[in-house]
Copies of this chain bind each other. A is one copy, B any other.
Amino acid sequence: MERPELPLAQLHAFVVLAEELHFGHAAARLGIAQPPLSQQIRRLEDKVGHALFTREPGRVALTAAGRELLPAARRALTDLADGLAAARAVGSGRAGHLRIGFAASLALTVLPGLLRAFRGRFPDVRLDIREMTTAPQIAALRDKSIDVGLLREPPADDASDEAELAFRTVLTEPFVAVLPSAHPLAALRTVRLARLADEPFVLLPRETGPRLHDQITGLCAAAGFTPWVAQRAVEWQTVCALVETGLGVSLAPASIRRIRLKGVAFRTVEPNARTRVAVGWRKDDLSPLVAHLLATVSRDPDSAR
């Protein structure tokens, strides 16, 4: 790639003149007087080394050399205009590409509203959403395979080893007991946690979200028992299905009320605790898209319908 020889301003003048084929009109379209235009063209012709127009009195026409240069000049100008517009759109966050990880349990609650709100505001941004549990999201944020994560129970903000990631709580929600409809406790409005002490439990594997898992077992411990986990399942959907078949009961974030199954009842528990849903991102990620997404999350707190 060599040093460019032709100033863009002159090429612009050239293209306009090639369209108008009239110095006066072309100058008017360019918003300048006629003599400067003559100069522009002259300078361009000097640089090219050949005449680009023939000026017979009354008629201006392109030469063969001019016909050769014209399409290249036109392409270059439109390419640059388009490229500049695209770069500005991306730079300002009006366009681009955002990869979002999300916890499966949010697929029916926070996520739809958030996506709808964001898409409404930034229709040219391509959203790449992928379901991931908490721990993989943190790893994915670190290795930059996602830009934003929506997860449950993030590491504490002040954890020393999380210097590169930031989290902000999006919402908190209570836990609910997940019971088979036929279960005696399902008849109550509120279930005291201790009453679940002897029930078999269905839970997610601890690795998929250690802090949430610990919070659940911690709740049980506070109620005076250690839950006996009869079955593990990797999705809340599956957990509910297993509960329906009578394999056990569960404790889950209230979000999963959205999973409507005939044979499953959700009951508030007592004593309760709230679990946090947070949004996480890389602190050093200056992308305006991330900023916009974070702003959208804050602006629409009830997007978690």
A: which residues have CB within 8 A of B? 1-9, 11-12, 15-16, 30, 48-52, 54, 63-69, 71-84, 86-92, 96-97, 286-287
Given A8-B7, A80-B72, A87-B69: A64 and B287 within 8 A (CB)?
yes
Given A4-B12, A91-B63, A91-B64: A80 and B76 within 8 A (CB)?
yes
With a cutoff of 8 Å between Cβ atoms, the chain B residues found around residue A74 in the complex are: 1
CB closest residue in chain B, given A95: B68
Q: Which of B4, B66, B75 contacts A8 (CB 8 A)?
A: B4
With a cutoff of 8 Å between Cβ atoms, the chain B residues found around residue A90 in the complex are: 50, 64-65, 67-68
CB pair B49 A81 closer than 8 Å? no
With a cutoff of 8 Å between Cβ atoms, the chain B residues found around residue A30 in the complex are: 3
How many Å lie between the Cα of A71 and that of B79 in the bound state?
9
CB pair A66 B50 closer than 8 Å? no
Q: Which 8 A-B pairs have the closest CB atoms?
A: A72-B83, A50-B91, A65-B91, A4-B8, A69-B87, A76-B76, A68-B87, A65-B87
CB pair A79 B75 closer than 8 Å? yes
